Amino acid sequence: MRHVHGRARRARAVLAAVLTWAGLLTGAAGCTSGGLSGLGTLGKPPTPEHVISISPDDGSKGVRPDETLSVRVPGGRLESVDVVKSQDAQETPVPGRISADGRRWTPDDKKLALAAEYTVHAVARDSDGRRSARHATFTTYVPEERFIAYVTPENRATVGTGMIVSLEFNREIDNRAAVERAVHVSAKPAVEIRPHWFGKGRLDFRPEKYWSPGTQVTVALRLRDVEGAPGVYGVQYKTVTFTVGRSQYSLVDAAEHTMEVSRDGELLGTVPISAGAPKTTTYNGKMVVTEMHEMTRMNGATVGFRKPDGKSEYDIPDVPHAMRLTDSGTFLHGNYWSPADVFGRTNVSHGCVGLRDVKGGSSDTPAGWFFDRTLVGDVVEIVNSKDDVVAPDNGLGGWNMGWNAWKAGSAVK
């Protein structure tokens, strides 16, 4: 299987609530992030009147400050809406309220901030009481003469030992050396940390090996007045800090249909899994958990899985315990629609790794057990799949690049 390459998404552990995101589902005929041969047991995909409408549209860029931010449902009621604004490497919740009839959410402050990224998470129940979730992000207008960096991980986070510091710039950087010199990443205890550019829009930092538990990492952005491109200057002078938590590493063997979960060098347990089917295999290689969602929506059409009539192969509004591994849509997630005997025996997904779960999710299932023990930044390595090794810039896949090659990606010679 070939996944669609996309822009790196930042970790949202603080928002590990229900939300939606396009990805590959592990299903009976494919991942949920894959396909779903058992779709008939779920009923027909939600019709348009059940869809949560978010404005501005998901993926919008350059949204003007006077445009209206709203969340609406044509039927049923909104259950919850969480909106976060990321600006100058800091995240703050956006206060708002749901109307008395439950059909609309609006922010208290009607004006959008400049040079910010907004993330919207909404959950609703339709007239029959069924829950659906939706997720959207958009970025607002940045004045032409400025550039900013969106930072992963978020400020004050506690992360796994595989976390890579990743800066996404809102526009291409021509003077990469000047920008690189203006970003300082340090650690206590000290360790060598080196940068690597992926094109002109992304700059990542990591040590040679995984971080040691307990490490305190500081990311100092000193981009204000730095000329990143002719006539384009940075505006940020901010500091982001995060802490490395315990060490957890999970090894998925696609041929054996198992996942071994180790904590601080000791085996916690072995979990039966289902990986990508022969025609839609799972990537090999080291991947890092970048998002965690108790529930998310997954729609195959967003990653190219369509039926001959153009409709999506699957559209699941309530995938439980979903953990993103790549930008292109690889997830490790709960699966309640496939028969229990699939796990540990057969690979049936469209590229994701599925764990047995129940509808609505439960801590007593393999998926719930793993979700409750996982941090954003934990490493999941997949072996023995008949696919390529995941690209270093697909999610936080930089651990698949050798140290010398990584250091060669610096713009400062």
Q: Summarize pLDDT for 25-78 with one digit per residue, the tens.
A: 333 333 433 333 333 334 555 543 457 999 999 999 999 888 999 999 988 999
Q: What angle do CA 292, 371, 215 make, to 5 degrees?
A: 75
Q: Which neighbouring-strand residues pair with 281?
A: none
Q: What whole-number percentage of the chain has pLDDT above 70?
A: 85
Average pLDDT over residues 308-314: 67
Q: Average the pLDDT over 241-260 and give the result.
A: 98
Question: Domain 146-246+401-407 has what CATH class?
Answer: mainly beta
- 107/172 Cα distance (integer angstroms): 32
Angle formed at CA 88 by CA 198 and CA 230, multiple of 5 degrees: 55
Mean pLDDT on 127-134: 88
Q: Are 250 and 261 in contact (CB under 8 A)?
A: yes
Is-cis flag, bond preceding 56, omega within 30?
A: yes
Please, which residues have CB within 8 angstroms of residue 267's CB and are 6 or more apart in sequence? 260, 261
Specify the 3-state DSSP secondary structure of 40. helix
Confidence of residue 141 (pLDDT cuts 50, 70, 90): confident
Q: Give the pLDDT mean for 214-235.
A: 92
Choose among 250, 286, 284: nearest CA to 401.
286
Q: Residue range 235-260: average pLDDT?
A: 97
Which pLDDT score, from 0 to 100, does residue 252 have? 98
pLDDT band at 301 (very low <50, low <70, confident <90, very high): low
Which of the four pLDDT bands, split at 50, 70 and 90, describes residue 294? very high
Q: Determine which of 145-154, 294-303, 380-389 has the lowest per-residue pLDDT on average.
A: 294-303
Q: Of 56, 50, 59, 58, which is closest to residue 123 (Cα–Cα)?
A: 50
The mean pLDDT of 291-318, rounded to a whole number, is 74
How high is the mean pLDDT of the chain?
A: 87
What are the tokens at 59?
A: 């993926």
Answer with the residue of higher pLDDT: 113 or 219. 219
pLDDT at 45: 53
Rounded to an integer, what distance in angstroms lies between the CA atom of residue 273 and that of residue 249?
Answer: 16
Whole-number Å distance between alpha carbons of 254 and 287: 14
- Mean pLDDT of the 127-150 span: 90
Task: Look at residue 187 and give its three-state secondary structure.
Answer: strand
Which contacts qualify for 53-60: CB closer than 8 Å, 24 or more apart? Answer: 54/120, 54/122, 54/134, 54/136, 56/138, 57/136, 57/138, 58/135, 58/136, 58/137, 58/138, 59/136, 59/137, 59/138, 60/138, 60/139
Report the percentage of the chain scoring pLDDT > 90: 71
CA angle 323, 376, 30 (to 5 degrees): 15
Q: What is the pLDDT of residue 217?
A: 98
Rounded CA separation 387/400 (Å): 14
The pLDDT of residue 197 is above 80: yes
- In this predicted structure, the answer to whether residue 14 has a pLDDT above a threshold of 60 is no
Return the pLDDT at 3. Answer: 40
Q: Residue 25: what pLDDT? A: 34
pLDDT classification of 332: cutoffs 50, 70, 90: very high
- What average pLDDT does range 355-370 have in this prediction? 96
pLDDT of 99 above 80: yes
Res. 111 pLDDT band, cuts 50 70 90: confident
How many Cα atoms occupy the beta-carbon half-sphere of 122 within 13 Å?
29
For the record, the structure tokens of 315 come out as 């559209």
DSSP for 254-316, please give it.
Answer: TTTTEEEEEETTEEEEEEE-B-B-TTSPPPBEEEE--EEEEEEEEEGGGGT-B-TTS-BS-EE
DSSP string, 93-120: E--EEE-TTSSEEEESS-SPPTT-EEEE
The predicted model gives 214-234 an average pLDDT of 93
> What pLDDT score was predicted for residue 12?
39
Two tokens, residue 180: 């690189």
Joined together, the tokens standing for residue 407 give 């250091």
pLDDT of residue 214: 98
pLDDT reading at 11 higher than 50: no
- Contacts of 60 by beta carbon, 8 Å cutoff, 6+ apart: 138, 139
